[in-house]
Amino acid sequence: MQSSLLENKISIVTGGNGGIGLGIAEGLALQGSTVIIAARNNTKNISALDKLKDINGKCESFELDVNNEDTIKSLVEFVIKKFGKIDILVNNAGITRRSDEPHLLSKNDWKDVLDTNLNSIHDITSNIFPHMKKNKSGKIINIGSMMSIFGTGYASAYAASKGGVVQYTKSCAVAWAKYNVQVNSILPGWIVTEMTDGFKSKFPERYAMIIERTPAERWGVPKDLAGTAVFLSSELSDFVTGTSIAVDGGYSVW
């Protein structure tokens, strides 16, 4: 493999076995990083790992439940034992639950979304950061959403969690800049993934409205996130921290 931006870097991507996570994982691997896919569906992990190993044969996968701190600790121990360090963390794992209006969302659904999308980021980051601090170097990328910016009546917990991601990113960036650890977030726009599968057929009018509002005149695909993730993972962004970058084809400009 030719020398590249992330040569010899060790990356963890949660929820990296599909969709945006896999698109980012492939981008990091193409730039030379050894990527560890960490997600709960091990069948999907193995399938995704096959794709990554075609790019970088050193990549690994790990069965991770982001809401279980024991498996988080096991992941960190596995990576440190095998590779000796963690250079890059991409907190991507996420879910959504919908209701016609916010008050109709059940308490359990609210809790599940906040636990997976926000609380788990704190748990994972808190376990990995000490290794970055020790090495006086690290890149943390938290995946937000357009809902970090805009509200939505049908996905209130998702919007609340993604808004929290941005503020948590800023807090960590302020605290850890002195250790040469940069913390940023990416805000994907409307991306074709399993989470949005069937959106066009179920909500044709809203789909058309999204296309009309997006200057790029299309939905994004997972690989559209790769370039921004590579930038935020590399030394090119060493003076960039606490920022949120929208990758949305211009949707949020209006």
What residues does 169 pair with on adjacent strands? none
Write the DSSP assignment of the chain as a string of letters: ----TTTT-EEEEETTTSHHHHHHHHHHHHTT-EEEEEES-HHHHHHHHHHHHHH-TT-EEEE--TT-HHHHHHHHHHHHHHHS---EEEE--------SSGGGS-HHHHHHHHIIIIIHHHHHHHHHHHHHHHHT-EEEEEE--GGGTS--TT-HHHHHHHHHHHHHHHHHHHHHGGGTEEEEEEEE-SB-SSTTTTHHHH-HHHHHHHHHH-TT-S-B-GGGGHHHHHHHHSGGGTT--S-EEEESTTGGG-
Q: Minimal CA–CA distance to 36: which of 19, 16, 6, 18?
A: 16
Catalytic residue chosen out of the listed positions 154, 158, 168, 207: 158
Q: Is 168 a catalytic residue?
A: no
Distance separating alpha carbons of residues 163 and 19, to the nearest angstrom: 21
Buried/exposed code over 19-48 (b: 16+ C-beta within 10 A; e: otherwise): bbbbbbbbbbbbbbbbbbbbbbeeebbeeb
Catalytic positions: 158
